[in-house]
Amino acid sequence: MKKTLVLVFHPSLNGQSHVNKALAEAAGELDNVTVRDEYALYPDGRIDVKAEQAAVEAADRVVFQFPLFWFSSPALLKEWEDEVLEHGWAYGAEGHAFEGKEFAVAVSTGSPESKYQPEGDNKFTIDQVLVPFEGTANHINATWVKPFVTFASFGITDEALAKAVEDYKAFLTK
């Protein structure tokens, strides 16, 4: 069974988050899954690069879990990428940390899937919105895994959230 590292980037996981909190808690119940709440670990935004790199090195699969903010990620995720994905470690001639690893994102959106269509309000599919993460996977020589998406998180029903939780567990264990 693959060792999976779930890096959760939500600035208010135990406050405003309903979906990401439920998904993170479910992930934490699984064998061979390690969950790291990055905002709790680094409330000042100062990332322990060596600790993060060690966590990645111990995993076979790395998942960034976050709510979509303005067609992008929360600020700490961008900072994590800038700091942790160092030349010579994650990429470059000597950078092999992600080779042989799977890389995925688990993202939640406030809007329904219908908004993420060429004819929808957002004009782009969710796969198009997440192209920078796929590009990152390619650049660090990781294997890109199709994203796990929870649409319409604002006002999600208990039944839909329960299904998302079960689907997420299946996603993390395949």
Percentage of the chain surpassing pLDDT 70? 100
Q: Token digits for 97?
A: 């940390």
pLDDT of residue 155: 87
Q: Using the predicted structure, report yes or no on whether residue 15 has a pLDDT greater than 90.
A: no
Q: How many structural domains compose the chain?
A: 1
Give the CATH number of the domain where residue 23 resides.
3.40.50.360
pLDDT 10s digits, 98-130: 999 999 999 999 998 999 999 988 898 999 999
What is the pTM assigned to this prediction? 0.95
Structural domain boundaries enclosing 166 = 4-173
The whole-angstrom separation of Cα 106 and Cα 44 is 24
Q: Using the predicted structure, report yes or no on whether residue 13 has a pLDDT greater than 80.
A: no
Confidence of residue 81 (pLDDT cuts 50, 70, 90): very high
For range 18-41, the mean pLDDT: 96
Q: DSSP of 84-140, one letter per residue?
A: HS-BTTTBSTT--TTTT-EEEEEEE-SS-GGGSSTTSTT-S-HHHHTHHHHHHHHHT
